């Protein structure tokens, strides 16, 4: 009989709870925290307080949607890290109390590993080994995935993450937080007519802070001549920024595929919701003869279904946590 796992994700600003029976997602409920948009970024202390308010109703909603009772839960999974300490603490503490009360085991999940394992929620499931470009608000990594629990980071950002680049540049353009989805929408209405430089970073690592600076200087110069420059060229600026972020990501992915002779290529994390990236991956995939894997939109950004999926592999491997488990702000996969 397939195991029933309740999974909790609280690493950043989304409280998400899922119920899985075996590989099947019975429910996946997310309470997002709109409160941060007024500050232009996630305020950690505000986030942890909002998690405290949201966690009980989100767990109840997930149980209700799944059509199960608390007593049907056979294991409780939680995001142990990486993430914001205060936010993680809420999920970790809640998971530990629930597991203790129900007398069921605990499963401690690595958030970045879970983003990759979002590919195991639905068909098509990539065969091993495959490469996964994990692009989120806090991370940008190319991961060599040998098995569900055996992953190696081949390269990562040395400064800002790709999502952070979208958010910071979007902020300069006056877009609300998180700016990534707004840049995506506006980019679809414009053309990449402005050419921002591509950084020369060795090997499979990335850098995005230079792009942010060059956009800033470009806008400063343009608005000196035309104070309306941003508002009259917003779509083209967004298309140009997105085009460069996507080309930086895909060029490194091409390099990784070539070095490691792997042609099963996946993307994951919040930025994998970006339509420009999804389209470019498909086009590059055709040219390079890759088989590409793109998660459903709902499993790109933070969600507990991916935490439950990672937890299922831990459960099958017999890797359990105990009541001494503490959150980890940093945790390499």
Residues forming contacts to ligand KG4 in the complex (CB under 6 A) are 12, 136-138, 163, 166-167, 178-181, 184, 269-271, 273-274, 301-302
Q: Are strands 75-81 and 140-147 parallel, antiparallel or unpaired?
A: unpaired
Partner residues linked to 19 by β-bridges: 6, 27
State the CB neighbour count (10 A cutoff) for residue 201.
17
Q: How far apart are CA 140 and CA 118, in angstroms?
A: 16
Binder of Zn ion out of 54, 110, 134, 136 (CB under 5 A): 136
Q: How far is the CB of 78 from Zn ion (least distance, A)?
A: 14
**Residue 292 binds which entry of ligand KG4, Zn ion, none, with Cβ cut-offs from 5 to 8 Å by kind?**
none
**Residue 167 binds which entry of Zn ion, ligand KG4, none, with Cβ cut-offs from 5 to 8 Å by kind?**
ligand KG4
**Residue 274 binds which entry of ligand KG4, Zn ion, none, with Cβ cut-offs from 5 to 8 Å by kind?**
ligand KG4
Q: How far apart are CA 34 and CA 45, in angstroms?
A: 14
Number of helices (H), then strands (E), in the chain: 9, 10
Using CB under 5 A as the binding rule, whether residue 87 contacts Zn ion is answered as no
Q: Kindly tell me which of 66 and 175 has the beta carbon lying closer to ligand KG4.
A: 175
Q: How far apart are CA 281 and CA 112, in angstroms?
A: 20
**Residue 271 binds which entry of Zn ion, ligand KG4, none, with Cβ cut-offs from 5 to 8 Å by kind?**
ligand KG4
- Return the SS3 of 43: coil
**Exposed, middle or buried: residue 110 (CB in 10 Å: 0-12, 13-18, 19+)?**
buried
Q: How far is the CB of 40 from ligand KG4 (least distance, A)?
A: 12
Q: How far apart are CA 45 and CA 304, in angstroms?
A: 21
Q: How far is the CB of 226 from ligand KG4 (least distance, A)?
A: 27
For CA atoms 273, 276, 277, 280, give the dihedral sign.
Answer: positive
Q: Kindly tell me which of 196 and 313 has the beta carbon lying closer to Zn ion.
A: 313
Q: Kindly tell me which of 55 and 112 has the beta carbon lying closer to ligand KG4.
A: 112
Residue 25, both tokens: 């997602």
Q: How far is the CB of 69 from ligand KG4 (least distance, A)?
A: 30
Position with the least CB separation from ligand KG4: 270
Q: Kindly tell me which of 98 and 167 has the beta carbon lying closer to ligand KG4.
A: 167
Give the rounded distance of the alpha carbon of 325 from its chain centre: 23
- Give, as ranges, the residues between 244 and 303 that touch Zn ion (CB under 5 A): 302
Q: How far is the CB of 306 from Zn ion (least distance, A)?
A: 9
Q: How far is the CB of 141 from ligand KG4 (least distance, A)?
A: 11
- In Å, the largest CA–CA distance within the chain is 69
**Residue 117 binds which entry of Zn ion, ligand KG4, none, with Cβ cut-offs from 5 to 8 Å by kind?**
none
Helices (H), the chain: 44-66, 85-102, 111-117, 162-172, 180-187, 209-225, 229-260, 275-288, 304-317
Q: Kindly tell me which of 26 and 179 has the beta carbon lying closer to ligand KG4.
A: 179
Total of chain residues touching Zn ion, rule CB under 5 A: 2
Phi first, then psi: give them for residue 39, nearest 5 degrees.
-100, -5
Q: Kindly tell me which of 259 and 329 has the beta carbon lying closer to ligand KG4.
A: 329
Q: Kindly tell me which of 137 and 155 has the beta carbon lying closer to ligand KG4.
A: 137
Task: Answer whether 238's CB lies under 8 Å from 183's CB.
Answer: yes
Position with the least CB separation from Zn ion: 136
- Give, as ranges, the residues between 301 and 320 that touch Zn ion (CB under 5 A): 302
Residue 286: CB partners within 8 Å, gap ≥ 6?
A: none
Q: How far apart are CA 8 and CA 16, in angstroms?
A: 6
Q: How far is the CB of 135 from ligand KG4 (least distance, A)?
A: 7
Q: How far is the CB of 269 from ligand KG4 (least distance, A)?
A: 4
Q: How far is the CB of 300 from Zn ion (least distance, A)?
A: 9
| List of residues contacting Zn ion (CB under 5 A) | 136, 302
């Amino acid at each position: 009989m397939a195991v029933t796992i309740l999974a909790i994700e609280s690493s950043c600003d989304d409280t998400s709870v899922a119920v899985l029976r075996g590989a099947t997602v019975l429910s996946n409920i997310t309470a997002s925290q709109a409160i941060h948009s007024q500050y232009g970024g996630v305020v950690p202390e505000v986030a942890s307080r909002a998690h405290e308010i949201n966690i009980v109703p989100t767990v109840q909603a997930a149980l209700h949607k799944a059509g199960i009772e608390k007593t049907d839960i056979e294991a409780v999974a939680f995001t142990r890290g990486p993430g914001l300490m205060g936010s993680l603490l809420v999920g970790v503490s809640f998971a530990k109390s629930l597991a203790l009360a129900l007398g069921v085991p605990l499963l401690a999940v690595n958030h970045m590993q879970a983003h990759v394992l979002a590919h195991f929620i639905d068909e098509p499931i990539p065969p091993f080994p495959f490469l996964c470009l994990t692009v989120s608000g806090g991370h940008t990594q190319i991961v060599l995935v040998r098995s569900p629990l055996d992953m190696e980071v081949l390269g990562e950002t040395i400064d800002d993450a790709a999502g952070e680049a979208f958010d910071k540049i979007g902020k300069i353009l006056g877009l609300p937080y998180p700016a990534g989805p707004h840049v995506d929408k506006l980019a679809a209405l414009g053309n990449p007519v402005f050419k921002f430089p591509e950084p020369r970073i060795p090997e499979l690592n990335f850098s995005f802070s230079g792009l942010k600076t060059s956009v800033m200087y470009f806008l400063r110069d343009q608005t000196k001549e035309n104070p309306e420059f941003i508002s009259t060229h917003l779509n083209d600026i967004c298309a140009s920024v997105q085009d460069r972020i996507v080309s930086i990501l895909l060029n490194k992915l091409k390099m990784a595929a070539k070095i490691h002779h792997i042609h099963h290529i996946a993307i994951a994390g919040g930025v994998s919701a970006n339509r420009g990236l999804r389209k470019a991956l498909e086009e590059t995939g055709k040219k390079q003869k890759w088989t590409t894997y793109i998660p459903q939109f709902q499993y790109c950004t933070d969600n507990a279904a991916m935490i439950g999926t990672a937890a299922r592999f831990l459960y099958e491997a017999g890797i359990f946590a105990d009541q001494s488990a503490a959150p980890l702000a940093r945790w390499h996969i």
